[in-house]
């Protein structure tokens, strides 16, 4: 079954741009003051959209196909690990040669090994944060566990997969609420954000059975309300101690409404947005490095002035440069690397061109 879901591609593109915007806004202190606090961190919601998409795509792409657990995990590893390792190793090298490209980085052997193997741990440079060496890679720690659980669940009858994964993740969240864990792994994997994957699978189930439909006016209204909610609830996200209420629920609403509109032909394939969707994984992994280069260049060229116009120019240039670098890496590195690792595997199987979200491209 080979298909393209235009709305998913566009959402992947927009979610990647949200994350780039979020990180670009605080690169330079003199510019950050114009975009600090309040509703400005709303760009983080791009990750929540990606997680919902990831659950949706995993469910849909394994529908009506005899995908074994081993084949599923092999596909996922080939898809995300090589590029992630390459970019992470690049960060290690740059951290030794040009540490000024990073706002704060502390490189230790344990930090590097755990980062490469998707093990959640406290970031040496910010001990209260659970981050890998390549900061955006924290989402991959969630993705990899979701893939492992999903791969194991493929051994079960199809109708049991969503209830069992949903029950397992709900139990983990309940444990996180009931106990005060000290372990980074326990804290990380009991966060309610994991339920966004389950929500994505549920959307996939509804979509496959033609039940994800709503009137066009209602779908557009839902998207507008969800976007407004993301922005309006952002100031309360930290105090709520969970992003699911602030960004997760609106993300589910956005994805479901877009899928409903897609069924009505409201999302014609757009060349640029389709490209950005395909390159979203490369954009996501490389934009921190791109932003570091731009931050350094801006300072050395004397372009830092504490005024809103200068700050806006930096934001626009940052987003544009991150997109261009990401697209270049997609064509020059990600695609050839993917073909290299998949060479020799069975050519009789077809793979949907739409794959998982930010965390996995």
Residue 243 lies in a domain: yes
Residue 344 above 80 pLDDT?
A: no
CA separation, residue 55 to residues 58, 158, 168, 206, 355 (Å): 5, 15, 15, 13, 10
Domain count, the chain: 1
pLDDT tens sequence across 77-96: 999 999 999 999 999 998 88
Whole-number pLDDT of residue 60? 95
Residue 146 lies in a domain: yes
Contact yes or no for 32/25 (Cβ under 8 A):
yes
Helical packing angle, 69-97 and 335-342, nearest 10°: 140
| Structural domain harbouring 58 | 6-342
Please give the biggest Cα pair distance in the chain: 62
Residue 349 above 90 pLDDT?
A: no
Whole-number pLDDT of residue 240? 53
Whole-number pLDDT of residue 241? 63
Q: The whole model's pTM is what?
A: 0.93
How close are the terminal C-alpha atoms of the chain, in Å?
19
| Burial (CB count within 10 angstroms: exposed 0-12, middle 13-18, buried 19+), residue 349 | exposed
Whole-number pLDDT of residue 335? 95
Residue 349 lies in a domain: no
pLDDT tens sequence across 166-179: 999 999 999 999 99
Whole-number pLDDT of residue 354? 43
Mean per-residue pLDDT, 297-315:
94
Residue 355 lies in a domain: no
Residue 251 lies in a domain: yes
Residue 356 lies in a domain: no
pLDDT tens sequence across 127-163: 889 999 999 999 999 999 999 999 999 999 999 999 9
Tell me the H-state helices in the chain: 6-24, 29-32, 45-61, 69-97, 109-116, 138-153, 158-178, 184-189, 195-208, 216-233, 237-240, 243, 249-263, 271-278, 280-300, 308-329, 335-342
Contact yes or no for 135/142 (Cβ under 8 A):
no
Residue 353 lies in a domain: no
Residue 334 lies in a domain: yes
- For 176, the 3-state DSSP assignment is helix
Average pLDDT, the chain: 90
């Amino acid at each position: 079954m080979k298909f393209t879901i235009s709305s998913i591609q566009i959402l992947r593109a927009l979610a990647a741009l949200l994350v780039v915007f979020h990180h670009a806004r605080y690169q330079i202190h003199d510019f950050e003051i114009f975009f600090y606090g309040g509703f400005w961190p709303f760009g983080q919601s791009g990750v929540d959209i990606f997680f919902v998409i990831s659950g949706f795509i995993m469910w849909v792409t394994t529908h009506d196909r005899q995908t074994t657990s081993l084949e599923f995990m092999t596909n996922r590893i080939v898809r995300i690990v090589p590029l992630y390792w390459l970019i992470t190793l690049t960060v290690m090298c740059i951290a030794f040669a040009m540490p000024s490209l990073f706002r704060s980085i502390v490189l230790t052997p344990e930090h590097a090994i755990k980062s490469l193997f998707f093990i959640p741990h406290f970031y040496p440079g910010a001990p209260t944060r659970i981050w890998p060496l390549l900061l955006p890679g924290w989402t991959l720690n969630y993705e990899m566990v979701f893939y492992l659980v999903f791969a194991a669940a493929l051994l079960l009858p199809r109708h049991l997969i969503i209830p069992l994964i949903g029950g397992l993740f709900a139990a983990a969240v309940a444990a996180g609420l009931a106990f005060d864990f000290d372990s980074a792994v326990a804290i990380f994997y009991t966060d309610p954000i994991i339920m966004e994957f389950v929500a994505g699978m549920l959307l996939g189930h509804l979509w496959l059975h033609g039940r994800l439909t709503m009137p066009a006016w209602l779908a557009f209204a839902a998207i507008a309300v969800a976007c407004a909610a993301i922005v309006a609830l952002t100031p309360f996200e930290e105090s709520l101690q969970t992003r699911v209420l602030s960004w997760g629920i609106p993300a589910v609403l956005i994805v479901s409404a877009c899928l409903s509109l897609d069924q009505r032909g409201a999302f014609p394939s757009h060349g640029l947005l389709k490209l950005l969707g395909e390159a979203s994984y490369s954009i996501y992994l490389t934009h921190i490095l791109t932003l570091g280069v731009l931050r350094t260049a801006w300072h050395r060229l004397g372009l830092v002035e504490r005024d809103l116009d200068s700050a806006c120019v930096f934001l626009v240039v940052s987003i544009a440069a991150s997109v261009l670098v990401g697209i270049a890496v997609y064509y020059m590195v990600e695609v050839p690397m993917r073909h290299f690792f998949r060479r020799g595997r069975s050519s009789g199987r077809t793979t949907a061109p739409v794959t998982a979200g930010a965390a996995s491209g």
